[in-house]
Amino acid sequence: MKGQRQTHSQHRSRVPKGAPMGRSEADVQDLRMMERCLELARQGVKQGELPFGAVIAFRGQVIAEATNHVSSECDVTRHAELVALSEAQKILRQKRLPDCTLYSIVEPCPMCSFPAREARIGRVVFAISSPIMGGFSRWDVLSDNGLSPRVTSNSSGCGQSNSSTREAGQGTVSLSLFPGQELQRLL
């Protein structure tokens, strides 16, 4: 239905078809969550939104997910990441989310990155960097030492990846690029 978000109970997560053997459980979970983000993005397009989807997982279980609601609600602040983050805080009845992971297809923008940081979300996973509007790669919101305490950011965490690490506030931000062949397979 237009404008509605699905909860975890409304869909079944599955290991992606053809997932290579030998992957760690975390890699398979990241890939499964990214697949769900793509499904949400497709749903959003059908509802007249831009193709963005976000999932919040609490200790490995989906607790909130969303598409963009910018067009349907005529509100530029209704990005998928913010909608999902808000829903997760309501479900868990807490503003801090250290045991949660935010999954998004595209690197969260600064507007989405700062609330994720303020919520102390444990980890951020995204497939595509955004060199113009990225809240990590361009604007460094997720790891700036001058802001509130950090989050851990993975631009994927899936399979074979390129990794780098930067010191950030009270912790470390590690980056690993989502393998291009994995994203193509999901599309």
User: Which is it for strands 53-58 and 100-106: parallel, antiparallel or unpaired?
Assistant: antiparallel
C-alpha–C-alpha distance, residues 187 and 181, integer Å = 10
Measured CA distances, 47 to 12, 70, 83, 127, 167 (Å):
21, 11, 16, 23, 40
Mapped to the 3 state alphabet, what secondary structure does 92-148 carry?
A: HCCCCCCCEEEEEEECCCHHHHHHHHHCCCCEEEEEECCCCCCCCCCCCCCCCCCCC
C-alpha–C-alpha distance, residues 28 and 96, integer Å = 26
- Give the pLDDT score at 181: 53
In the chain, which stretches have pLDDT less than 70?
Answer: 1-23, 148-187
Kind and range of the H or E run holding 35 = helix 25-46
Active site residues: 81
pLDDT in tens, 9-24: 333 334 444 444 456 8
- Give the pLDDT score at 150: 55
22 φ, ψ (degrees, to nearest 5): 85, 0
- Give the pLDDT score at 49: 97
- Give the pLDDT score at 142: 83
- Say how many Å lie between the first and final Cα of the chain, rounded: 23
- Give the pLDDT score at 147: 74
DSSP bridge partners of 174: 165
Six token digits for residue 161: 């990846």
